[in-house]
Every structure is written in structure tokens, then in C-alpha cells.
Amino acid sequence: MAVTIPIWTGSSTFVSGSTGTFGFFDADSTYQAHADKVAAWCAGRLGYPINDVELQAVHFYACFEEASLEYSNQVNQFSIRDNMFQLQGSPTGGNLTGKPVNTNLGRLIGIAKNYGTEAGSGGYLSYKSASIQVTTGQQVYDLNDFTFEVAGDANKHIEIKKIFHETPPAIVRYFDPFIGTGLGSQTMLENFGWGNYSPGVSFLMMPMYADLLRLQAIEMNDMVRKSAFSFSITGDRLTLFPLPTYDYTLYINYITEEERSALQVITGSNVVGDFSNAPYELHRYNEINPAGKQWIFKYTLALAKEVLGNIRGKYSSIPIPGSETTLNGADLVSQGQTEKDALITQLRENLEAVSRQSQLAKMTEEADNIQSQLNKVPMPIYIG
Amino acid sequence: MALFGGQRDASLIRSLNRELIHRWIDTEVLFYKTQLNSISTNIYEETNNKVYQQPVLIPAIVTFDDPTWQSDDFGPDVTQTATFAFLLDDLVDNDNKPELGDVIEYHSRFFEVDSTISNQVFAGKDPSDWFGGDTHGYSVSYIVQAHMTRQSKLNIVKTRFGTSPTAKSILPNNL
């Protein structure tokens, strides 16, 4: 029983939901109206009615849907890529398709927080403290002997962020009579003959810079004449300089290496993490502008060529009475692929040309050019 | 069950062949089927008066061999053979397959069928006699070998006469 599989008859009737496709756009009335027109147009471009076109309406519908999907996919991919910096961490709800996304500094500051951690200013990690009792005459201490704020950290690799071992501030020795720099006010009072009036509570109003100069003198004196306060760490050994002359508690700030290397995951459900859950839906066909629709039509034709080429190329030679012939399957496939590549390239180039970065560059260039032009305008001399 | 050469593929081959032969090549021949039951034969079942059915126009791919001229005691004579390749579907649809003795007219010449061949099958299967059933394969062609025959013995066209502007009776031009 010979079975005749119908091929393109010159017309078709699009029935929503019965096209053998996914039906992503079937509900769109504009899409419905265009489906049959695109099918007829593609058939015409493939040679119908002079040539038979060994395709059915379902092939054209499938190509049309794939072209529409491809267009939406390309545009959405570009938007996701362009906005991903802002999108990551934002809610997945809603639909951003076709909507501009303004930049904000949230993610940038989020990244900067890691630098804050290193600088001891903000950041994601909290410094923890540990302490040890410093004994007079003992310079060297083992970090393992410290008492850690979190007991479990004693067995972990830590990174010391700060050791509170510093020269006492000069202000606490302001009145130190043995400081070497001397409090000049007492001598001055003596010289004025007022030294015996009230030796314990004599005051003289001095300008602020006199205090600052005195503090600087104390610090300079310490630096030149005394051992500097410093320390060294080698392995687990902490050595303090100078030799402690009294007992006190030494504090340090630290983080564990484990904490430093921990992933900073933005917690919370339903937040954008990557391409896969960025809230971009398919475009509505009727909202795609004519330029986009034209792209879809051309891509549909390229796909139809590919399909027809595959059909005609299934058998390398076709028997005809008394001979054999070859069809143009390979040519059609090649044409279709070339056209598809060209269309994709064209679309991507167009999208790249309107990326946020490109637009900013253009605006800068435009401003520079305008300024350059304005600089050529003669400036009149004002004569009042 | 074969994976290739199913009815969908066969339909494609049929469709392509029809497009090629009917629309692109578009050469047609007139086929005269011998009407056996109208022919009177002698005791040896021989006859000089063949009768043919009304001709049918059938698309075909025609391949002529060069004519061969011979001269003997009876004068010069010409012979020519030709091959007529039909799409089998066209013949099945018309229920009219050329057989030996039938006549094909093409290019104002008449060819008598000498032999027929029908062994060009797609995917190696003829659905009419494949043991696996009729769901695979496709018998593509029906090739007819024929030789040019004399018109005078066919009784299809009137020969050896002509029209004379001066005579009432119709006589051959050369008489």
C-alpha cells in the first residue's frame, strides 16, 4: 500500500496548541497571524510554487518558534550578562525581560568588604581576641599558651591581625618630671617669682601647639633614647621588645585561616545566583519591534533551509527512472547554517553595541567630541 | 523490520520523481496499447492488421540511440532504437504497462516495444513482493527498449498518400 505523505500545499492554517511545537507563543494573536504568513513566505523563498518544497506546515511552525525562542534567548542572555553584577543576590521573583536595570553599589561594596576585613575596617569577618599574661623579664611567649576567645581556635591556624604592644602614649607622661624634656611652666613661674605661691596647683594657660610640641618631644625622646616597643613572630613564638619590666596582660586580635578562606555565600532563598535563575522570561512576540521580527523571519528561513536540506540529504542519491540524481540537500544545509551564524553574529554585535559599557564609552566620546568642537568656536573679546 | 526505506522515505522519492518527470523534464510520449481482442489472426496467430487502443499521454525520460543507416539491394533503410523510462507509478495509475508489441509515439516516430525492465527499486525492496510486507521500498521505474518501426504497417496513421490540389481523389504525393 503506497502511502503518500503530503508536502507543502501552498497554504496552512495555524491552530494554537496543535502545531506540534512547544507552543511557547501560541497564545499570542500576532504570533498566530504571522505563523501562516511566515510559512508561506519561507516556502516562497525556497522556490514554491515553481519547486515542490518537501516540508509541511509543522516544519515551518517549528522553525518559527525556534527562531522566536532564539531571538528572545539571545536578548535575554545579553541582558543577564550585562546586569549580572546587579542581579546576583537579588530576588528571583518578577520578570525583568525588557526592563532596564539601574546600577547600584551593593555588590561593589560587598566585594570591598573583603578589603575591609584585611584593613580592620568592617568586612565580613570579626576579629577575635586572645590574651596571655606577660611576666617581668620574660620576652618570649608561645602562641599556643594564649587564652583564645573561642576555645576551639586554639587548635586552628590563626592569623594575628593586631598585637596590643605599643609605646605608652606620650600624654600619660605629660607631667612626668623625669621625662627629660621638662615641664617648662614650673621653671617659668619660678623665674617670674611666683614659684612659692602655690607649688602644687599652679596653672598657666598655654596655647594648644605648646602641648603638641611637648608630646612630640616626649615621643622623639623615647624613640632616640629608649628601646622601641616592638615584637616579632616566628612560627608560634612571640618575642616582645623591650624586655618587660612589669607584669601585664597582652592582648592580640586574630582570625582563623579557616574563616578567611570560607566562602562568602549570600544566604537566603530565592535569590539570583547565576544565569540559570536570573528572572528573565520569554519575550512577548507582539511586543518585539519590527527589527526583531525581521530577524526572526530570516532566522526561520535559515532553519527551514536546514530542515529541507536534511530531508533532501537523507539519501545521497535519489533513483529516477533509468538513472539517479542528487538533490541540493548539502547546499541547503550549508546555506542555512551560514545564514544562522550571520544572523546570530549580527544580533550579538548589535546587542554589544548597546551594552552599558559601550553606551558609557559612547557618551564619553560624544562629550569629548562636543568639547573638541566647542574649542574651535572663536571666543569674542568682550568690549564693554 | 528495516530502518531505512519506509513509506515516508518512499513517499519523498515518489514526490521528487513526480516533480522531476512531470514538471521539470516534462517529456511525454503517446502510448498505443495493442487491443488483442480486436485482432484477427491466422491459424498461427499471426496478423498484418494490428489494432491499438486510443493512445495515452504518459511522461517519460526518452533516450534515443543514433539512427543507423543501411543500404542493400532494396535500397537504403534506417533503424533506430530508443529507451523510454517511465515512472512506474504513472503506469500503475493508468493501469497501462507497455508490453512487447505495443507502440510508443514520440517525436513523430513510432517505436515498437522490444523489451521491458522493472528492477530499479529503492532501498532494495519492491513493496509489491517484499517478504517483509508492503511498508518498505519503492519500485521506481519501468524501462522500455523499443525500435523504430514502419508507420505503414501500424494502421495508426495513413501513409503513402497525399493531397493533390488538382485531383479529386486523394493520392500519395509521389504518384
Predicted confidence (pLDDT) per residue in A339-368, tens digit = 999 999 999 999 999 999 999 999 999 999
CB distance B134–A7 less than 8 Å? no
User: What's residue A80's pLDDT?
Assistant: 94
Sign of CA dihedral A63, A67, A70, A76: negative
Q: Is the peptide bond before A242 cis (omega within 30 degrees of 0)?
A: yes
Q: Note the helical H segments in chain A.
A: 29-45, 57-87, 106-119, 184-192, 208-225, 257-261, 290-312, 329-353, 356-375
Phi-psi region of B155 (alpha: psi -120 to 50; beta: other; left: phi over 0): left
Helix A57-87 vs helix A29-45: crossing angle, to nearest 10: 120
pLDDT one-digit tens code per residue, A129-177? 999 999 999 999 999 999 999 988 988 899 999 999 988 788 777 766 5
Q: Please, what is the average pLDDT of chain A?
A: 89
User: Cβ of B132 under 8 Å from any chain A Cβ?
Assistant: no
Q: Which of A250, A231, A251, A228 is nearest to A240 (CA)?
A: A231
Give whole-number Cα distances, A285 to A13, A40, A188, in Å: 19, 19, 93
Q: Is the pLDDT of residue B175 over 70?
A: no
User: What's residue A189's pLDDT?
Assistant: 60
CB distance A3–B122 less than 8 Å? no
Mutate which of A59, A320, A328 to disrupt the B interface (most B C-beta within 10 Å)?
A: A320
Place of cell 541547503: A332
Q: Note the helical H segments in A17-56.
A: 29-45
Q: Which chain B residues contact residue A315 at CB under 8 A? A: 9, 13
Mutate which of B4, B18, B20, B83 to disrupt the A interface (most A C-beta within 10 Å)?
A: B20
Residue A119 burial (C-beta neighbours within 10 Å; 0-12, 13-18, 19+): exposed
Nearest CA in chain A to B18: A320
Strand partners, B144: B84, B116
CB distance A2–B89 less than 8 Å? yes
Strand partners, B83: B63, B145
Q: Is the pLDDT of residue A196 over 80?
A: no
pLDDT one-digit tens code per residue, B88-143? 999 987 778 999 999 999 999 999 999 999 999 998 999 988 888 888 999 999 99
User: Cβ of B139 under 8 Å from any chain A Cβ?
Assistant: no
CB distance A2–B86 less than 8 Å? no
Per the model's pLDDT, the better-predicted residue between A335 and B48 turns out to be A335
pLDDT one-digit tens code per residue, A182-192? 455 565 566 66
Mutate which of B3, B15, B62, B126 to disrupt the A interface (most A C-beta within 10 Å)?
A: B15
Q: Which chain A residues contact residue B61 at CB under 8 A? A: 320-323
CB atoms within 10 A of CB A85: 16
Residues 6+ apart with CB under 8 A from B159: B151, B152
Q: Element (H or E) spanning B18, and its range?
A: helix B7-18
pTM: 0.75
CB atoms within 10 A of CB A69: 18
pLDDT one-digit tens code per residue, B4-53? 889 899 999 999 999 999 989 999 999 999 988 888 889 998 888 889 99
Taking the C-alpha atoms of residue B6 and residue A364, their distance in angstroms, rounded to an integer, is 65
Least confident of A1-5, A320-324, B36-40: A1-5
Nearest CA in chain A to B17: A320
Taking the C-alpha atoms of residue A278 and residue A79, their distance in angstroms, rounded to an integer, is 10
Copy the grid coordinates of residue A258. Answer: 579557616
At A255, is the secondary structure helix, strand, or coil? Answer: strand
Cβ atoms of B123 and B140 closer than 8 Å: no
Residues 6+ apart with CB under 8 A from A163: A231, A238, A250, A251, A252, A253
Tell me the nearest-neighbour CA distance from A340 into chain B, angstroms.
Answer: 26
Taking the C-alpha atoms of residue A121 and residue B85, their distance in angstroms, rounded to an integer, is 92
Residue B140 burial (C-beta neighbours within 10 Å; 0-12, 13-18, 19+): buried
pLDDT one-digit tens code per residue, A99-119? 988 888 888 888 888 898 888
